Structure 1
Amino acid sequence: MKKSILSILSLLFTLTLFACSNSEEESANSGNTEQENTNEGRTLEHASGEVTIPGNPERILAPYLEDSLVALGVEPVAQWSIGEDVLDYLQPQLGDVPTISWDLPLEQTLSQEPDLIIFNSPSSLQNGTYEEYEQIAPTYIYKDEVNSSWRERLTRMGEILNKQDVADEVLAEFDEKVEKTKESLEEAIGDESVAFIWTLGEEFYVFESSRYGAEVLYNEVGLTQPEFIQNLEQEEQWNPIALEKLGELDADHVFVVGEENETGFEILENSSVWQSTPAAKNDQVYTMNNPSHWTIDGVIAHEMTLDAVTDELTK
């Protein structure tokens, strides 16, 4: 009897071991399959049809999309440039990354040996056809409607690189920053109006409510627009504004953005028209000599703009 019981227990033990072994093997195989699927990549739709994205791309070229890459913790194989000009505000992260011409000449692109190329719009293909870039590496082109929204652009980059969770986290943190900025500025200036001007050479451009960081500051933070900006005609938006016209600017606070040696700063300083504006008369004109993040749509650029505005208006 004892032998029978022992035999049955031994058989059950053997069967249990066999079942566990099979279960572990199936689990391991399942894990390997998932890993293989990730490594095989994913097929996504884009502006030129469909493209299969590598599972773990390491050499990414995405000119003028570096803000999104850096926000997701990704370093491109080369960074956008026009001559010696690069995205200055990203140089703490990209200072050691080589440059490539903004229009991605085919030979330069090939020399970087990318395993993924990303363009921010169909019109960005200046030096070659989609088919030519596809011969170098899988190529993804943003649709114009996605590229027109910095939030959509970042979200889509998360999808392309299989980092959707990181993109969601970055945007959530940015929204928290917006709320904190809103509280700080409401306490500091209330409903006093604020304007933003970019000077380049002898010309002046006014940021309307849909332009770069001003869109966040006006539409999300809730800064008050002066009537001057609200009443800008369509043809005046992001076109040079004459100095005489700037004399009508009724903002309580004005940020003037430009390189330190821009002629525009001297013109404003010596202009009786400008000096008669409310902000100038009340010494509430703020000079911003780090212009690069002011004229870029990206989460890192906008964070820096929020910090710069908060620092000045809460002193």
Structure 2
Amino acid sequence: MFKKIALSTTFLIALFSLVACGQSSESKDKDNDLRTLTDAQDHKVDIPEKPKRIIASYLEDYLVALDEKPVAQWTVGEGKIQNYLQDELKGTPTINYDLPYEDVLKFEPDLLLIGSNGSLEGGKYKEYSKIAPTYVVKNGDNVTWRDQLEDVGKVLGKEEQAKDVEKDYDQLIEKTKKDLKDKIKGKSAVVLWVTNNSAFMVADTRSSGQLLYQELGFEVPQLTKEISKKATADFSQVSLESLSQLDADYIFLVNSDSGAAMFKDPLWSNIPAVKNKHLYEFDGNSSWLYNGPIAYTKMVENIQDVLK
């Protein structure tokens, strides 16, 4: 009798062990489920269901907006980083913008998000894909931050959260247009970036230009229209002589060179918006040179602060 009970107990223990192992295995598999997505370069990429070690150089804005934190953040030159994101990314190690293979390996990513086709020239995609699943996010001249946010949201399985981020932003835009109606209607504005004693103007459909003209409804100055026709990047260089003819009501200046000689030139001092004290200055650490929902939100908040 005792022998039968002992055998039965042994059998039950073995059975429970098998079930437990099965559940453990099933749970592990579930955590590592893969989804196959097609990226902007038509690669079929097996994406982990819940990536935990993401590198998304220059796409950190989108990660932060979707409550994700990368294992490394973009940098270029002498430690230049996206300062406007540092409340969320403080302490996150940096990785150079061109993503050296050795550095990528060191961070042991389980997902690489690439934000530019140009950064993959020279067979880089093949090398990166040996390290981790590598997904090229929508990019190019006609791709907006909304397009990129939705694409990143799809990769992370956070499509609905991406839509919520857009909805919150749209509400901010509508409130700003309403609150600043008298300051916007019929008024023209321009975004200038000064660096190395040279001035650059944003194009009318790119970056902060898209925000000013398409979303908030500022008028486009004639000089901006002319610059935009030939623009091949977000910002195009413009001479001080041309700026002296600038008829904008407001200038939003991103100043990365506060000691620039051009600011002491009479041509600068006589620009109507400068003379009328409608020059609003932001330093090079602000979000005005970047793209993404957080960058744009901070730009709108800057505009609210100076025009209220």
TM-score bucket of the superposed structures, by smaller chain: 0.7 to 0.9
Does structure 1 residue 241 correspond to structure 2 residue 238? yes
TM normalised by structure 2 equals: 0.84
**d(CA) in 1 for partners of 2:108 and 2:292?**
26
Larger fraction in helix: 1
> Offset at 1:216?
1.4
Does structure 1 residue 308 correspond to structure 2 residue 306? no
> Offset at 1:56?
0.8
Which residue is equivalent to 1:132? 127
Does structure 1 residue 262 correspond to structure 2 residue 258? yes
Which residue is equivalent to 2:37? 44
Which residue is equivalent to 1:152? 147
Which residue is equivalent to 1:85? 80
Deviations, residues 152-177 of structure 1 (Å, cap 9, x unaligned):
10001010000111101001100001
Q: Is the contact made by 2:138 and 2:151 (CA closer than 8 Å) also made in structure 1?
A: no
What percent of counterpart residues are identical? 36
The 3-state SS of whatever aligns with 2:180 is helix
**d(CA) in 1 for partners of 2:32 and 2:228?**
52
Deviations, residues 272-293 of structure 1 (Å, cap 9, x unaligned):
2222222122111111124441
- Structure with bigger gyration radius: 1
The 3-state SS of whatever aligns with 2:95 is strand
C-alpha spacing 1:211/1:263, structure 2 compared with 1 (3 Å): farther
> Offset at 1:35?
9.6
Equivalent of 1:53, from 44, 47, 57?
47
**d(CA) in 1 for partners of 2:83 and 2:51?**
25
The residue type paired with residue 51 of structure 2 is P
The residue type paired with residue 259 of structure 2 is T
The residue type paired with residue 298 of structure 1 is G
Q: Is the contact made by 1:258 and 1:291 (CA closer than 8 Å) also made in structure 2?
A: no
Which range is displaced more, 215-224 or 186-195? 186-195
Deviations, residues 240-286 of structure 1 (Å, cap 9, x unaligned):
21111100100111111113x4333x422x22222222212211111
Q: How many residues align?
A: 281
C-alpha spacing 1:144/1:137, structure 2 compared with 1 (3 Å): same
The residue type paired with residue 154 of structure 2 is E
Which residue is equivalent to 1:219? 214
**d(CA) in 2 for partners of 1:94 and 1:103?**
19
> Offset at 1:128?
5.5
The residue type paired with residue 251 of structure 1 is A
> Offset at 1:227?
2.3
**d(CA) in 1 for partners of 2:231 and 2:210?**
17
> Offset at 1:146?
9.0
**d(CA) in 2 for partners of 1:115 and 1:52?**
11
Q: Is the contact made by 1:105 and 1:127 (CA closer than 8 Å) also made in structure 2?
A: no
Which range is displaced more, 293-302 or 222-231? 222-231
> Offset at 1:213?
1.8
> Offset at 1:94?
0.6
The residue type paired with residue 242 of structure 1 is S
The residue type paired with residue 34 of structure 2 is G
C-alpha spacing 1:147/1:103, structure 2 compared with 1 (3 Å): farther
The residue type paired with residue 118 of structure 2 is S
Q: Is the contact made by 1:189 and 1:313 (CA closer than 8 Å) also made in structure 2?
A: no
Which residue is equivalent to 2:61? 67
The residue type paired with residue 199 of structure 2 is F
Structure 2: stretches of 5+ with no match in the other structure: 1-24
**d(CA) in 2 for partners of 1:33 and 1:141?**
30
TM normalised by structure 1 equals: 0.82
**d(CA) in 2 for partners of 1:164 and 1:303?**
19
Which residue is equivalent to 1:200? 195
Which residue is equivalent to 1:278? 272
**d(CA) in 1 for partners of 2:142 and 2:47?**
19
The 3-state SS of whatever aligns with 1:57 is coil
**d(CA) in 1 for partners of 2:139 and 2:82?**
22
The residue type paired with residue 50 of structure 1 is K
C-alpha spacing 1:181/1:40, structure 2 compared with 1 (3 Å): same
> Offset at 1:109?
0.4
C-alpha spacing 1:147/1:86, structure 2 compared with 1 (3 Å): farther
C-alpha spacing 1:148/1:235, structure 2 compared with 1 (3 Å): same
Q: Is the contact made by 2:45 and 2:134 (CA closer than 8 Å) also made in structure 1?
A: yes
RMSD: 2.4
